[in-house]
Amino acid sequence: METAPRSELREVQDERLQKTVQNAYENVEFYREVFDEHGLTPDDIESVEDLSKLPFTTKEDFRDHYPTGMFAREMDDVVRIHASSGTTGKPKIVGYTQDDLDVWSKAVARCLVASGLGPDDVVQNAYGYGLFTGGLGLHQGIEELGATVIPIGGGNTQRQVEMLADLGSDAISCTPSYALYLAEVADDMGYDIKDLPLRVVIFGAEPCTEPMREEIEERLGVKGIDIYGLSEIVGPGVSIECEEQNGLHIWEDYFYPEVVDPNTGDPVEEGEEGELVLTTLAKDALPVLRYRTGDLTTLNYDTCECGRTCVRMDNITGRADDLIIVRGVNFYPSEVESVVLEFDEIAPHYRIDIRREDNLDKLEITVELAEDFDGSRSDLTSRIQKRLSNVLSFTPDKLDLVEYGNIARTEVGKVQRVYDHRGQ
Ligand SMILES: [Zn+2]
């Protein structure tokens, strides 16, 4: 399916979509009501082209039907539960039948192959295990491939480094910020991480800019491969970069992508940026139709250099939700990150604080000096400020340079970089 002619892929998509719609309509009250309200029956959705007749599914729908109201199967048939890490309110609960787990494993196994790994490789899985889909999701895909999994989980960084060295891990899966932290700890422990057999870092769960990827590749002497997914759709494994590193292939026989204008919900022209909307095509316990991911991307349908025909999405550097609005100016944290990574004099760590003082928003950015920095702080401050105001079209009210190691590293889970203190 990865290299099938697109017409053949479309036939598979249409056939699976019809089954998915039937399942959602018959077994999920929420979807039955949606269809009824719009005067539709499952027969009206014959092809993926008919999807636009349906409204979107949103994260609020998951919240409103907490915990398992979106499930199309009874708990008897559900063999595993995961939950998304919601920052506010209740988590989104997701469930899988054994068939669903098999599909997920295959999707992740494909990802690993696309990233350049094979059955002979050893993969150290440093994603957190538990309700988070990252740990077990990667784990089962590594086993499906027939590679060797080291289920080390998140944290315990010194042991991670020892395992990398002692077991000669070929790959590690973790967040991009953790990959950099790993390099620092390896340094402190006296290892030259570049000399280790490690050759691939599969990173996900956090947005990663291109300069951040370059930093990871340089510091660790690896290929940095971006993987994408979300619990509501399946977990990690919806898409991944191939070795060309030119967009993430979406496994379109399992997940159907659309890109829409986040404000109007209308489809954008091919190649234009918009919000990614996904429909599951091969999931029984939790069929999801037109889910608004909140992630901004573009789609490219050209056949990739690697020979895969399935569509590529741009790597996600911003979520619609992450947009920061300060005194009427909009920007994404990734724009700050790209500036931070431009300067050799500072380390690739930063935090953004937004406060409201006297009814006025104040933007404060904190960056960390490189370990060997011995130049003029005021000169560096003004150069960074100048770049920030060019990129953000806005000059931060305060730019703090702190000593190396003073911005908290995240060993487990996603790094928090933005602290919005307004309204608190
Ligand atoms: Zn490719």
* CA–centroid distance, residue 2 to ligand 1 (Å): 10
* CA–centroid distance, residue 56 to ligand 1 (Å): 29
Q: What is the mean pLDDT of the chain?
A: 94
Asked if residue 88 has pLDDT above 70, the reply is no
Residue-level pLDDT at 87: 55
Residue-level pLDDT at 240: 98
* CA–centroid distance, residue 82 to ligand 1 (Å): 30
Give SS3 for 113.
Answer: helix
Domains along the chain with CATH numbers: 1-320 (3.40.50.12780), 324-420 (3.30.300.30)
Asked if residue 147 has pLDDT above 90, the reply is yes
pLDDT-above-70 percentage for the chain:
99
Asked if residue 61 has pLDDT above 60, the reply is yes
Residue-level pLDDT at 321: 75
How deeply is 62 buried, as exposed, middle or buried, from its count of CB atoms within 10 A (0-12, 13-18, 19+)? Answer: buried
Instruction: Give the tens place of pLDDT for each residue, 256-273.
Output: 999 999 999 999 999 999
Beta strand 312-313 pairing with 299-300: antiparallel
* CA–centroid distance, residue 310 to ligand 1 (Å): 8
Asked if residue 99 has pLDDT above 70, the reply is yes
Asked if residue 424 has pLDDT above 60, the reply is no
* CA–centroid distance, residue 341 to ligand 1 (Å): 27
Asked if residue 316 has pLDDT above 70, the reply is yes
65 pLDDT band, cuts 50/70/90, is very high
Asked if residue 313 has pLDDT above 90, the reply is yes
How deeply is 19 buried, as exposed, middle or buried, from its count of CB atoms within 10 A (0-12, 13-18, 19+)? Answer: middle
